[in-house]
Amino acid sequence: MTTTEPPNGLWCRKAHQSEEVSSHAVSHNVQEENLRQWQKHAQKVKLKALEQVQDQLSDILDKALTDSVQPFTCIHPTVNKKTTMKPSPRSQKLDNGKVFMDRASLLDELFEISHIRTIYHMFIAVLLIFCLSTLAVDFIDQGRLVLEFDLLFFAFGKMGTVTWAWTVMFVYTLLIPYYTLVFWGSLYHSFPSKLVLSLGTGLILSAIQTCVLSLFPIYVVIENQLPPASRFIVILEQIRFLMKSYSFLRETAPAIMKTTPKEGERPRFPTLSSYLYFLFCPTLIYRESYPRNSHIKWNYVAVTLGRIMGCLFYGYFILVRLCVPVFRPENNQLVSKRTMVLAVFNSILPGIMILLLCFFAFLHCWLNLFGELLRFADRMFYKDWWNSTSFANYYRTWNVVVHDWLYYYGYRDFLWLSGGKFRAAAMLSVFIVSAVVHEYALAMGFGFFYPVMFCLFAVFGVVFNFTMNDKRQSPVFNVVMWACLFLGQGVQVCLYCQEWYAQIHCPRTENSFWELVTPRSWSCSYQR
């Protein structure tokens, strides 16, 4: 059999066509690669342009805000008949302190988006599941369909004692600091020795503050053996009144010292009504006036009250369904490394849920409730802390109300006293003060000293603040931040629950110092 071979010309044409096809494919691939490279370059240019535009818009808004706040008749000091250089808008903003403006809370704006509102509905569904599971367990174990809230009633017991203790602290905070300021201010400019007057008045007021706002709440909590929630109400209100009164004196005293009244005139003091409003409005920075809304939205008030009650019952079900079954001593399990590790990881879910509930119930609902009732227009009580890629940003955005107080009266005053030096020391001092106050509130609220919060805040928090700083912009660091929050909340819930049961089943035998500060769970040998 013979095979027919194509002519040489045909082979040449086919080879030439294949070369054209291959070269065309290579050219197409090169064009696609160039197009991808160009798209990447265009995306980088776009991001850089957006960053520049954002920075420029921020500068423009800062300048517009400063110009609107500062009066146009402001006279700048002159040197040799020449006006000194006007400071930049950012430095003016720093000198003027916090600026309040009309703005809504971030979650209220996000809840307008249906996708975000669905996440909120998911949490409501989980609450309903908690209720149904509790009903089912009670029906199976005891044959009844009744929801009992005995733990909730126990936690909020002795509310009569809480009410009269709060009344004493409130009346004192309203009258004594205010009239002490009026007394000191009326004599300041005419007194022979301003330093003696200021030191004497400050020492007397500090002694009274120590007795009424420091020792009195502690005495009430310990002497009356208040339950946990009632303890937290008294202690947190004690801290709030101390911070409020300090802000009032810190903001008004320098203004009185700088303003010398004309002959025959009395110094100008803030009105008692403005101070009374400040004691209830949701901010810790005193101003004689704040931006106000035109009316109260009562539907918003009712919904917010319902949310607060829902968060209260949510927290109750988390403790009853996820914490008590794990840590109650009836489990008859000896404490070991294995059970400790399992307990920590079993506490992560209730821990993070309690953290989110505390944020939503207090920083959003409770503060917005008082803001709405008082027509307080500046509702920026928090920022988008959940998007943080650094712990430095998380600490700034989690609780803006407390952060502002720490920044203006702690960090910035420290820098002012040190001449603008030692910024790291100023930041560290603010961390230590915040950690001590947090640990004090937990120790007084639970009735025992177990410095878990202090260690996590003052040790790990400081390390994370300086290592995971604002330079970390990758989404990976947002995952790291959430993982640390999950683990930290699990450790806190686990250790505090263990110590709570250890305090019950292994009470103290003496009241020595080391007996009071040593955790009972370290030496208690009861079976869990």
Active centre residues (catalytic): 438
- β-pairing, 78-79 vs 82-83, is antiparallel
Rounded CA-CA distance 446/450 in Å is: 9
Q: In sequence order, what DSSP letters do the residues of 217-265 get, joined into one string?
A: HHHHHHHTT--HHHHHHHHHHHHHHHHHHHHHHHHHHHHHHH-PPPTTP
Query: What does residue 218 show for φ and ψ, rounded to 5 degrees?
Result: -65, -40
Rounded CA-CA distance 122/128 in Å is: 10
Q: What residue spans of 70-113 are helical by DSSP H?
A: 89-96, 106-110
Cβ contacts of residue 364 below 8 Å, gap of 6+?
Answer: 105, 107, 381, 382
Strand partners, 78: 83
Query: How far is residue 63 from each of residues 53, 84, 87, measured CA to CA in Å?
Result: 15, 19, 11
- Yes or no: say if 423 and 415 are a contact pair by the CB < 8 Å rule: yes
Question: Is 78 in a helix, a strand, or coil?
Answer: strand
Type of residue found at 499:
E
- Yes or no: say if 382 and 363 are a contact pair by the CB < 8 Å rule: yes
Q: What residue spans of 284-347 are helical by DSSP H?
A: 298-318, 324-327, 337-346
Rounded CA-CA distance 285/304 in Å is: 24
Strand partners, 103: 378
Rounded CA-CA distance 109/46 in Å is: 27
Here the contacts of 219-228 (C-beta below 8 Å, separation 24 or greater) are 220/161, 220/165, 221/444, 224/158, 224/161, 226/157, 226/158, 226/161, 226/162, 227/154, 227/155, 227/156, 227/157, 227/158, 228/155, 228/445, 228/446, 228/447
Which tokens belong to 66? Answer: 């400063």
